[in-house]
Structure 1
Amino acid sequence: MSSGSRPGAGDGALIGLDLGGTKIAAALVGPVGPVGPGGPNGSLGTVLARHTRPTPAGSGPDAVLDALAAAAAEVDPDRRASALGIAAAGVIDPRTGRVTSATDSIRGWAGTALGTGLADRTGLPVACDNDVRATAGPELAALDAEHGSLLFAAIGTGVGGAVAVDGRMLHGAAGIAGHLGHVPSPQAAGLPCTCGATGHLEVIASGPAITAHYRRLTGRAAQRLEAVAERAAQGDADAVHAITTGARAAGQALGGLANALGPDRVVVGGGVPRVGALYTDALAAAFAAELMPPLRGLLPRAPLLGHDAAVLGAATLTTRLPLHHPGVRP
């Protein structure tokens, strides 16, 4: 089977890898059924082994690929897996298996041949996708409707997302579909974005952005969102304002996107919503205020799965995306 061909039904164990800027998570996953309606537990398989290690983010793409292959070997010493799926940071094109764009959180990551590079190192066929789309896959699978639609936002160090319409995850040109952090936001007007533009959602709604907004408001030092949240809980009005501004910006953007896409389910995950009701209530109110009448009653929900969501979603990529094989160039 050549690079880019689709897998068959697939039997046996699978490896799921989740690559972030600081950590690699790996899991050996029991047999995965066809991804479709009927709930996540029925289609995702069971985690049989886990492993984590630091990402050698400053050492270049070859070192990262080597670390990924080592993590895969760690969870599958008996070579039970028939394929490997990877959920990776950056803009990933699953058809070519390449990283088409990336921030500097992993040095030199843009342009990396992720699919074939990892296949060559592991001897396994590899499916790859953006980390947020991979995590959103089980959420789509859990929808009751065969042609369900999903809007998924991951709000943490950045703002990522995934969009599925009528049962199909959207990838778009170069794999860029779903990058919700780069839609315009009135609350971010004039603020520079890491992508080179200004006024994007990520620079007002992400964790570091909320922290930076608090510093702009007060001139006081705050290194992390947790510190801002603690001050908000103690009655600091500026901390409350910074958090709710980020939440309202996210809710407004998601509400507008919901009108455009008509999702059956809207999911908001990531570290920032863990701030609590101050954040989630403000986001939900701003979201509801944007909705057209047919969508009224739609509410943002928390993710269905916990800390294994990314590796389980990565494993299921092998059932629905092109496979890249050892020794076969894209």
Structure 2
Amino acid sequence: MRSAGPASTVVRGGPYPVVGLDLGGTKIAAALVAPGGRVEARFSCPTPAAEGPDAVLDALAHAVAAVQDGSTAGAVGVAAAGVVDPETGVVRSATRTLAGWSGTRLAARLAARTGLPVACDNDVRAAAGAESAAAGADRGSLLYLSVGTGVGGAVVADGHMVRGRAGIAGHLGHLPSPEAAGLPCSCGARGHLEAIASGPGIAALYARLAGVAPPPALEAVARLAEEGDQHAAEAIAHGAAAAGRALGGLANALGPDRVVVGGGVTATGDRYWVPLRAAFAAELIEPLRSSQTSHALVPRPPRAGRDAPVLGAAALTTTVPLHAPHTGGAR
């Protein structure tokens, strides 16, 4: 079912163990999270991205059941790709990374499958919310970039998440990027950051440089770089520099207190972080660039590490509306 349909009933969350789901274009990660934020169990499975919304929703429901493993959760929080409306629980728009995902009644249909109330929001916004909360009284303003199968982002201004018109705020992967000039983006346009900085974008660049087809997985490119393959090293550095350059320009515009970069691509290590930070610093204006002041900005990984996306998803159950399960016709 692609149409938005009526919004499901909205209820409010409470202090109980919840399941956090991070839905990416490649993988679904699930965690059972205690009220204090402790991860009690983890589960992951591939995302059936090309098989349509029903297959994705079935995989999400399977992950909810698997991660509980006899425990009882009180709610589910889903951090999902696309422009997600937390109030209605509907995916308003999405790129081609998840086939047919735009228009999916995510909250209502997953609640029907699991029998649990469901909260949802954009995946990177959820992770950024958890990152901002972890800063406590010092949360301030945050610019958050996530680089994986796609490129997403979020902006927190003075402790408040910026959602923007139609919930579009934070889609940093669709900024114009000189490094991506002419390259097709998953949104249908050309020349966007995601086309060169995402995992598939870096892998595609390696394939063009090395003259191979089809492009390998990013993990294979990273291994080749470690083995001394200059094309692989160049592809990773080029994608990282494109991301750093875009972030530096945004930092000049927004003046954030912190800049955080997460996502699977950052696991390539210093080969990624060094060119990203260099390109970021080269774009900054004073006083943001001065290493002699407390205002100097340096992109850093999330404080919550690999659990940031699922913890952010779990936190949605207490920060945005929960949509109660209904019977009949929700599949």
TM-score range, shorter chain: 0.7 to 0.9
- 2:70 and 2:220 map into 1 onto residues whose CA distance is 45
Q: Which moved more, 1:285-294 or 1:214-223?
A: 214-223
Alignment pair present for 1:128 and 2:133: no
Alignment pair present for 1:295 and 2:288: yes
Q: Is the 8 A contact 2:203 2:221 kept in 1?
A: yes
Equivalent residue number for residue 13 of structure 1? 17
Equivalent residue number for residue 36 of structure 1? none
Alignment pair present for 1:256 and 2:238: no
Q: Which moved more, 1:261-270 or 1:46-55?
A: 46-55
Q: Is the 8 A contact 1:147 1:165 kept in 2?
A: no
Q: Which moved more, 1:67-76 or 1:169-178?
A: 67-76
Structure 1 spans left out of the alignment, 5+ residues: 33-44
Q: Is the 8 A contact 1:151 1:263 kept in 2?
A: yes
Q: For residue 284 of structure 1, give the secondary structure of its aligned residue in structure 2.
A: helix
The one-letter code of the counterpart of 1:310 is: P
Q: Is the 8 A contact 1:266 1:301 kept in 2?
A: yes
Structure 2 spans left out of the alignment, 5+ residues: 1-6, 290-295
Q: For residue 242 of structure 1, give the secondary structure of its aligned residue in structure 2.
A: helix
Equivalent residue number for residue 198 of structure 1? 190
Identity of aligned pairs, percent?
64
Q: Is the 8 A contact 2:132 2:139 kept in 1?
A: no
- 2:84 and 2:196 map into 1 onto residues whose CA distance is 24
Change (3 A) 1:236 1:67: closer
Alignment pair present for 1:141 and 2:133: yes
Q: Is the 8 A contact 1:162 1:178 kept in 2?
A: yes
Change (3 A) 1:320 1:159: same
TM-superposed CA distance for 1:300, in Å, is 0.5
- 1:57 and 1:187 map into 2 onto residues whose CA distance is 27
Q: Deviations over 1:225-244 (max 9, x none)?
A: 34444444455444443332
Equivalent residue number for residue 321 of structure 1? 320
Q: 4+ residue runs of structure 1 moved beyond 6 angstroms?
A: none
Task: Give the TM-score, by structure 2 length.
Answer: 0.85
Q: For residue 306 of structure 2, give the secondary structure of its aligned residue in structure 1.
A: coil
Equivalent residue number for residue 64 of structure 2? 72
- 2:104 and 2:75 map into 1 onto residues whose CA distance is 20
TM-superposed CA distance for 1:299, in Å, is 0.2
TM-superposed CA distance for 1:3, in Å, is 4.8
Mapping 1:193-232, distance limit 5 Å = 193-221=185-213, 223-232=216-225
The one-letter code of the counterpart of 1:214 is: Y
The one-letter code of the counterpart of 1:15 is: V
Q: Is the 8 A contact 1:207 1:272 kept in 2?
A: yes
Q: Is the 8 A contact 1:17 1:315 kept in 2?
A: yes
Q: For residue 309 of structure 1, give the secondary structure of its aligned residue in structure 2.
A: helix
Q: Is the 8 A contact 1:205 1:246 kept in 2?
A: yes
Q: Is the 8 A contact 1:4 1:322 kept in 2?
A: no
TM-superposed CA distance for 1:148, in Å, is 1.4
TM-superposed CA distance for 1:206, in Å, is 1.6
Change (3 A) 1:314 1:245: same
Q: Deviations over 1:44-81 (max 9, x none)?
A: x2222333344344443233323323332333466733
Q: Is the 8 A contact 1:12 1:80 kept in 2?
A: no
Q: For residue 77 of structure 2, give the secondary structure of its aligned residue in structure 1.
A: strand
Q: Is the 8 A contact 2:25 2:150 kept in 1?
A: no
- 1:229 and 1:301 map into 2 onto residues whose CA distance is 20
Equivalent residue number for residue 239 of structure 2? 246
Q: Is the 8 A contact 1:6 1:320 kept in 2?
A: no
Change (3 A) 1:280 1:27: closer
The one-letter code of the counterpart of 1:7 is: R
Aligned length in residues: 316
Mapping 1:28-177, distance limit 5 Å = 28-32=32-36, 45-76=37-68, 80-145=72-137, 148-177=140-169
Q: Deviations over 1:161-203 (max 9, x none)?
A: 1211111122223332211111011111122222122111111
- 1:320 and 1:303 map into 2 onto residues whose CA distance is 20
Q: Which moved more, 1:79-88 or 1:257-266?
A: 79-88
Q: Which moved more, 1:297-306 or 1:102-111?
A: 102-111
